[in-house]
Amino acid sequence: MKYLTLVNVSKGFADGLMPLGLLSISAYIKKNDPEIEIKLLDSNCQDLYENFETPDVIGISAVTQDIGRAIHFAEFIRSKNTTPIILGGVHISTYLKLPKQFDVGVIGEGEQTMLELIQLEDFSHKNLKNIKGICYNNNNNSDRTIFTDPRDLITNLDDIPIVDRDLTNISYYSQPRQIIPYHFGRSFTMISSRGCPFNCVFCSTKIHWKKFRAFSAKRVIEEIELLINRYNAEIIHIFDDLFIADKRRLKEIHRYIVEKKINEKVKFMCLVRSDMIDDEIMKLLKEMNVVVIGIGMESGSESMLAYLKRKTTTIENNIHAIELSNKYKIPTMGSFMVGNPNETEEELLETLNFIKSYRNSPFLCPLTYISTAFPGTEFWNFALEKGIPVENFDKIVMDIPHNINDLKDAPLLTRIPLDRFFEIICKFDKETQYGMLKRNTFFPKNAYSIVKAYREGAIIEKNLFVGFIEVTKLLFMGMNYKINLFSK
Ligand code: B12
Ligand code: SF4
């Protein structure tokens, strides 16, 4: 019997989401080698440091934002013993530099690689060099990372068993909570595909997953049914980069969901693209009981949008998507990026004005993120050329902060002076807050939700009177919207 501890250092968002990558590795190892005993240390619901017990091998997962936390934990383990520590996940897979605290880095898909690693007698370089898809540091020269041959991607994703959710603290993750906007309940995440057929200049997906692959519709339904029957799921967030990438598969998933009446048991959220959705797709999503969609709208400036999405999307596409979202009454979380490479103040303001012009659109909720360079992307190359300190990973700020000082050391890509940039992005933040209160102004459930909206309006505007006027305008627009609906 060998003992493996998998470690999730990521925490935050909606009281934490299950670390699906680690759970997939666990399921794969359990299927292929039942002699391995696996434990999860999960920072969402545990103190990693207090609960650590030494196993035979440790595997830590990290996205770029979490690498500082992963290193810190690896240092803590090192201070106790010499157990081999493996780093996996999107950060090492795209950055390709292994911090000295780790013995091995796993590049890309981790299931088979981790299985082979845990079966090794020891982690001598003689053994490691035969394992595909890893890197390790040369003992004699700590600046040199040695890479083995790349590992082929798993051809048929259905060969990977359903992720091992039982490894987690299920009672923690089964508590009713809100992981998708507006909907509260027992909520779970799942992944039904890997990668994305597109290659936006800021996105890590192409570098990490190489190409788009999907689980079969049948297998997707099997996992959804498991979530409903075993974990009593009421809400499922399908976290694929682009759930609708394969329209044929989408239709098949839709058919099963409707036939099996899954749409009467569970609500879904998924991510789509504005240039891909049309009446047919929206109808399918509506019938499946998709209650919120997410779209990367990115910019209100045509030239910026063309750059960010390599000319695959236009403002017209985004406008059409907002219209479809209103038509089918599926709220859209539209995310926008501010502070892009070479973005002018005019382009930034175009985005702000675009968002503002949809304040009266009942189903668009804009979200704004500060552009960040992630390893391997075109943004990354831009930043390195300009000498922007993008390797200060612990200084990354993507959410709009309340204090300009929080941006002072952040590796920003913008060339707009910081004071002015901060002044403008605070206005974006205001639109996000208005987006969030649309529910209470367009579709108030009762008198209390209207009072709540007025209170939120006053907070957003930091002025009782202006807040009152703005929320009253929204309430009128909401009434108008409903009158229009009736008259149609
Ligand atoms: C779900 C998700 C989230 C969720 C939850 C994360 C979670 N706990 O799972 C939330 C909403 C919280 C989130 C937040 C953020 N995310 Co996110 N997220 C994703 C998403 C869509 C899916 C992740 C996933 O479950 N993948 C499926 C599993 C199977 O893949 P995996 O985790 O990569 O694991 C595989 C391998 O990497 C490897 N592996 C992973 N860990 C380990 C460990 C070991 C030991 C081994 C051997 C192998 C291994 O093996 C696994 C199986 O093959 C990805 C995009 C994507 N499709 O991957 C973006 C992605 C990871 N997120 C990204 C970003 C930018 C963020 C944010 C910074 C966004 C923001 N605005 O703040 C935050 C970071 C917050 C944080 N501190 O974690 C980027 C990461 C870029 C980067 N270089 O770090 C991605 C790649 C999106 C993108 N297209 O650019 N995210
Ligand atoms: S469409 Fe989304 S997931 Fe695909 S490359 Fe662009 S940003 Fe990444």
pLDDT digits (tens, 9 = 90+) for 445-464: 788 888 988 999 999 999 99
CA distance 42 to 11: 9
- Both 343 and 381 in one domain: the answer is yes
Angle formed by the axes of helices 447-461 and 464-487, nearest 10°: 130
Residue 487 pLDDT exceeds 60: no
Mean pLDDT across 235-252: 98
Protein residue whose Cα sits closest to atom 37 of ligand 1: 89
Lowest mean pLDDT, pick from 152-166, 413-427, 449-463: 449-463
CA distance 273 to 140: 48
How far is the centre of ligand 2, averaged over its atoms, from the C-alpha of 2 (Å)?
39
- Find out whether the beta carbon of 19 lies less than 6 Å from any atom of ligand 1: yes
Rounded to 5 degrees, φ, ψ at 105 are -115, 135
CA distance 293 to 51: 38
Residue 486 pLDDT exceeds 70: no
Which pLDDT does position 488 carry in this prediction?
47
Protein residue whose Cα sits closest to atom 68 of ligand 1: 65
Angle formed by the axes of helices 315-327 and 279-288, nearest 10°: 40
Protein residue whose Cα sits closest to atom 3 of ligand 2: 241
- Both 140 and 192 in one domain: the answer is no
Protein residue whose Cα sits closest to atom 72 of ligand 1: 398
Residue 98, judged by CB atoms within 10 A of its CB (0-12, 13-18, 19+), counts as: buried
Which pLDDT does position 164 carry in this prediction?
98
Domain with 350 in it: 174-436
Helix segments in 357-410, DSSP class H: 378-386
CATH number at residue 284: 3.80.30.20
- Both 315 and 409 in one domain: the answer is yes
Query: How many Cβ atoms are within 10 Å of 168's Cβ, its own excluded?
Result: 22
Categorize the per-residue pLDDT at 425 as very low, low, confident or very high, splitting at 50, 70 and 90. very high
Tell whether 476 is covered by a domain.
no
Which pLDDT does position 151 carry in this prediction?
97
Of the candidates 429, 479, 435, 428, the residue with the CA atom closest to the CA atom of residue 453: 435
Domain C-terminal end among 132, 147, 162: 147
Query: How many Cβ atoms are within 10 Å of 4's Cβ, its own excluded?
Result: 22
- Find out whether the beta carbon of 59 lies less than 6 Å from any atom of ligand 1: yes
Categorize the per-residue pLDDT at 482 as very low, low, confident or very high, splitting at 50, 70 and 90. low
Number of domains in the chain: 2
pLDDT digits (tens, 9 = 90+) for 370-409: 999 999 999 999 999 999 999 999 999 999 999 999 999 9
CATH number at residue 72: 3.40.50.2300
How far is the centre of ligand 1, averaged over its atoms, from the C-alpha of 463 (Å)?
39
How far is the centre of ligand 1, averaged over its atoms, from the C-alpha of 19 (Å)?
8
Which pLDDT does position 473 carry in this prediction?
87
Which pLDDT does position 143 carry in this prediction?
67
Residue 300 pLDDT exceeds 80: yes
Mean pLDDT across 80-101: 96
Which pLDDT does position 439 carry in this prediction?
75
How far is the centre of ligand 1, averaged over its atoms, from the C-alpha of 61 (Å)?
9
Fill in the DSSP letter of residue 2.
E
- For residue 273, give the ligand 2 atom closest to its CA: 1
Rounded to 5 degrees, φ, ψ at 9 are -90, -5
How far is the centre of ligand 1, averaged over its atoms, from the C-alpha of 108 (Å)?
12
Fill in the DSSP letter of residue 171.
H
- Both 310 and 391 in one domain: the answer is yes
Decide if 335 contacts 296 (C-beta within 8 A).
yes
- Both 315 and 424 in one domain: the answer is yes
Fill in the DSSP letter of residue 260.
T
- In order of 203, 335, 403, 461, the CA distances from 338 in angstroms are 15, 10, 17, 21
Domain C-terminal end among 390, 405, 436: 436
pLDDT digits (tens, 9 = 90+) for 176-227: 999 998 889 999 999 999 999 999 999 999 999 999 999 999 999 999 999 9
Angle formed by the axes of helices 20-32 and 111-118, nearest 10°: 50
Decide if 127 contacts 120 (C-beta within 8 A).
yes
